[in-house]
């Protein structure tokens, strides 16, 4: 076991959040849904949507039978609604090709729409209890600080960083699952990007970043600020909100173009939503698919 794993495991048992998808009776489908929803979305925002989704579609076949408009409305304001369509498409594939059982292989999972390295590894670890490398931004930050003495990891994941992270995953299967879970939790609750709570960290005495006096981010010049106000994504979000409220009815393009955003952004957003399959254009109106 790596020198951090035992300390992290003890901390996680005492301080890990009681998130609904971590409970013992959650199915692999429930884990998959949670991991897709958690992509770029905080857990606190995901909980009510996950509970509602699982109450409506507790198994892949239930979701596969739903209409695209239904899953988009159920997605609500989680953001990046293409994830809802991809999850819907994945449910159909799971039913048609895998007998309604979520695959337990990372390579197979990565053939599903919208499932990349991280999500596949997380499902394998947390749904099936197998050894894998669950490497999200939280885990990368913990490793960068504790093991490499850097404020933040590089903007892009390199092969060398992945190799280092694999070396830290315990060989024992059960320990590896705990490590993945605990390292993510530490990054989410304690080792945050801004104002980390180092005084509450179980790895405080082992942290090379703290030991070096908290040096500045060496990659700061390579990071692009990500805004939201006045962006194409914001325009898409406003249009989607109006379409969800319309309950499947057509919304005139003229109405959409009066939303609070630049006309050029709204026009681009309308076209991109139709291209992504998130909306259907009918003459001079738009509706959910």
- Could you give the residue numbers annotated as active site? 35
Name the residue among 202, 199, 267 with its Cα closest to residue 239. 267
CB atoms within 10 A of CB 143: 21
Tokens standing for 228?
A: 């939201």
Name the pairing type of β-strands 251-252 and 285-287: antiparallel
* 214 token code pair: 């908290």
Q: Whole-angstrom Cα distance, residue 132 to residue 138?
A: 16
Structure letter (DSSP) for residue 231? S
Cβ neighbourhood burial of 225 (10 Å; 0-12, 13-18, 19+): exposed
Q: Structure tokens of 27?
A: 């199915």
281: phi then psi, degrees, rounded to nearest 5: -90, 130
Q: What is the spatial distance between Cα 66 and Cα 56, in angstroms, rounded to a whole number?
A: 10
Pick from 93, 1, 84, 96: which is nearest to 46 by CA? 84
Q: What is the dihedral of CA 193, 199, 205, 210, to 10 degrees?
A: 40
* Bridge partners of residue 285, in order along the sequence: 252, 282
CA gap 228, 213 in Å, rounded: 33
Question: DSSP letter string over 199-216?
Answer: GG-TTTTT-HHHHTT---
């Amino acid at each position: 076991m790596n020198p951090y794993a035992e300390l992290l495991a003890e901390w996680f048992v005492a301080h890990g959040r009681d998130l609904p998808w971590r409970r013992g009776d959650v199915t692999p489908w429930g884990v998959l849904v949670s991991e897709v929803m958690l992509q770029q979305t905080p857990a606190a925002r995901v909980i009510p949507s996950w509970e509602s989704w699982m109450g409506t579609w507790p198994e892949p076949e239930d979701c596969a039978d739903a209409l695209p408009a239904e899953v988009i409305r159920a997605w609500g304001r989680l953001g990046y609604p293409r994830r809802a369509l991809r999850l819907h498409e994945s449910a159909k594939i799971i039913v048609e090709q895998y007998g309604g059982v979520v695959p337990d292989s990372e390579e197979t999972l990565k053939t599903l729409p919208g499932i990349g390295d991280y999500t596949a590894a997380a499902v394998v670890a947390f749904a099936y209890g197998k050894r894998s490398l669950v490497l999200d931004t939280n885990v990368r930050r913990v490793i960068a600080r504790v093991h490499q003495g850097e404020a933040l990891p590089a903007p892009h994941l390199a092969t060398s960083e992945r190799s280092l992270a694999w070396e830290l995953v315990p060989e024992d299967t059960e320990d590896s699952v705990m490590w993945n879970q605990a390292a993510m939790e530490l990054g989410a609750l304690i080792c945050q990007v801004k104002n980390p709570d180092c005084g509450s960290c179980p790895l405080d005495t082992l942290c090379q970043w703290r030991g070096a006096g908290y040096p500045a981010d060496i990659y700061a010049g390579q990071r692009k600020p990500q805004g939201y106000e006045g962006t194409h994504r914001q325009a898409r979000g406003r249009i989607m909100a109006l379409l969800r409220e319309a309950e499947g009815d057509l919304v005139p393009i003229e109405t959409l173009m009066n939303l609070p955003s630049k006309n050029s952004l709204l026009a681009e957003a309308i076209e991109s939503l139709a291209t992504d399959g998130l909306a259907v254009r009918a003459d001079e109106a738009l509706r959910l698919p």
